[in-house]
Structure 1
Amino acid sequence: MQCFAHFSLFCALKSRVMKKNIAIFASGSGSNAENIIRYFQKSGSAQVSLVLSNKSDAYVLERAHRLEVPCSVFPKEDWIAGDEILAVLQEARIDFIVLAGFLFRVPDLLLHAYPYKIINIHPALLPKYGGKGMYGDRVHQAVVAAGEKESGITIHYINEHYDEGDIIFQATCAVLPTDSPDDVAKKVHALEYEHFPLVIEKLLNEK
């Protein structure tokens, strides 16, 4: 029994050491960030170890604080240079970065430090309705105005250009003729909450 206890302790410690560390970048309310944090707190397959934002009044910081996840805010100049942010990520031993409603361009320094380890979720079916300035309600308004019959989510890797990285996953929802942008937003949010944590977990298991 004593040997078994030692073995169990060794396995538990090894699992804890090998657990992947996720950082979330977010600029706004942070509902997706909270959903991801809670998912990995329950699953235990990885952990959200850090939340970073470019806005000091972003509500995601309050969500992170409530869930006991360390968070920091960096000014615009740091997001342009990237070296201060990279130092914080390295200190926290971050393995993977998730953008969840992050509205600032990721510095080239981080792209080179984390190749194919930074992903974003976009509230439409790329390549439609993507690019600089296309985020949140703006996307849903454009979808409805164009008379689209479907919308959805796109999870993709990040590169030097807005919303042009390799697509990893897409899920769709119907857009009815009577739907308002708010109606579409609710459908898209449901897809985000359902799929985003699962896709993150799958990618981490593959790396």
Structure 2
Amino acid sequence: MRTVDPAKHQARRRHILGVAASLFAEKGFERTTTAEICKAAGMSAGNLFHYFPNKRAIFFAVFEDDGEDKAERLAQALAADDPWDALMELVDFLAAPAAEPLAPPLVMEAMVQAYRDAELDALLSRGNADEHAAIAALLTKAADAGQIDPGLDPNDTATWVLALIATLYTSAATTPGFDPTEQVATLRLILRRFLQAT
């Protein structure tokens, strides 16, 4: 029986996800075929299905693979001594992928597919719920520390913080010339003025 090298297996899996993500971002999930993914990945369908059972599983994996890193960053933010600094660093972390060429169109495509696929919607909702909970907890800590307006409801405010971050992605995907990197400073300024207003 042939043994599988875990490092090679993981590298091959990442390669498939990389080429598939490019195709999904360019053409959308529905218009991307398994044959196109195989061709771009340089492998046969049989080889591809050794890593993923179908195209839908590949699409899901594109959005699942950053979960571990994100969970670690959320935990670091919650454990930080200064909740305001931790909040701003978390905003930067969540906003950063918007500057990557593939991320905004992939996010838009995920939103479309989640409307049609309850399982994908649940997957994305879990990730959003984790982000929301971390931001709400940091807002509570920052209010307790006198760093932000204590009159703000942390759950409602966390929803608005995430909505502003999401706007970087949707604007990058739909507005020609919109540069998310240039807008992060404005986002931080908006949050500072809103959250710290008394």
TM-score normalized by the length of structure 2:
0.26
Report the structure, 1 or 2, having the larger strand content.
1
Larger-gyration structure (1/2): 2
TM-score normalized by the length of structure 1:
0.25
Relative CO higher for 1 or 2, CA cutoff 8 Å, sep ≥ 6?
2
